[in-house]
């Protein structure tokens, strides 16, 4: 009986340590959609730092109502890859790129991104046909965009049926505006009834690194005999910017 009790105590301690690491330091996430291609691919597994922006109730499993504001808060910056709880249900995790800070005015005009009436510099780097949307590959133009803090990232736009123009989005106080890098295949802050503006309390953490990647189109991770085709070794331990 004493051995059973000791084993139980060890299990509880290990569980508590795991919860603390997941809540306060790093949490793994799986990428299930193509909204962030080509930066993040379906099947990527990433580590997200929980301490970068401080902590809120969403830092902890099941979002317990133990904090009504962020503590040790450090504000995110343009271009950060942020995991957040969607305002619609405060449960679903999304990852998008931060484009607008509180008070910013965001608009897309003729396919170009404007922040506070200033056109963001972008350079076309080519076209490609390997970007997915709803499980299908599509033809896109690829651009390198530069944000107000000079941080650069890659974004892709459909060659056909692209969202070329939007309304002006004015980001409320203590909220942020996010876009997917796969601009025409992303539910993000442009769609106010689905995502909209994200409150600072909903921020979960900042994506830091891809630690594992498996192409689900080429086989399940459980099919170890097919790993030579499905595992993307070139994405292991890839730093995210």
Q: Rounded to an integer, what distance in angstroms lies between the CA atom of residue 157 and that of residue 141?
A: 5
Q: Rounded to an integer, what distance in angstroms lies between the CA atom of residue 68 and that of residue 55?
A: 10
Count Cβ neighbours within 10 Å for each residue of 80-98 and write b for 16 or more, e otherwise: bbbbbbbbeeeeebbbbbb
Give the SS3 label for residue 63.
Answer: coil
Which residue is it, tokens 């107000």?
A: 148
Residue 96 among the catalytic residues: yes
Residue 187 among the catalytic residues: no
Active-site hit among 50, 96, 138, 206: 96
Q: Is residue 35 left, alpha or beta, with left meaning phi > 0 and alpha meaning psi from -120 to 50?
A: alpha
Active-site hit among 34, 35, 189, 213: 35
For residues 131 and 34, is the Cβ–Cβ distance under 8 A? yes
Q: Catalytic amino acids?
A: 35, 96
């Amino acid at each position: 009986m004493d051995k059973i009790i000791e084993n139980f105590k060890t299990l509880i301690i290990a569980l508590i340590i795991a919860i603390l690491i997941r809540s306060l330091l790093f949490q793994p996430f799986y990428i299930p959609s193509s909204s962030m291609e080509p930066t993040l691919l379906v099947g990527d597994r990433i580590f997200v730092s929980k301490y970068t922006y401080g902590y809120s109730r969403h830092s902890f499993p099941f979002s317990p109502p133990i904090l009504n504001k962020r503590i040790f808060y450090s504000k995110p910056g343009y271009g950060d890859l942020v995991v957040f709880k969607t305002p619609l249900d405060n449960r679903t995790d999304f990852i998008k790129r931060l484009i607008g800070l509180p008070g910013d005015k965001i608009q897309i005009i003729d396919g170009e991104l404007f922040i506070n009436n200033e056109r963001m510099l972008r350079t076309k780097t080519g076209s490609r046909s390997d970007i997915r949307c709803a499980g299908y590959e599509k033809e896109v133009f690829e651009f390198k965009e530069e944000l107000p803090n000079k941080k650069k990232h890659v974004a892709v736009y459909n060659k056909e049926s692209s969202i070329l123009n939007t309304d002006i989005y004015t980001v409320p106080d203590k909220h942020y505006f996010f876009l997917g890098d796969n601009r025409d295949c992303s539910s993000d802050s442009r769609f106010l009834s689905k995502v909209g503006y994200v409150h600072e309390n909903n921020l979960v953490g900042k994506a830091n690194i891809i630690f594992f990647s498996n192409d689900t189109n080429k086989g399940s991770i459980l099919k170890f005999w097919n790993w030579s085709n499905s595992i993307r070794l070139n994405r292991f331990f890839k730093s995210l910017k």
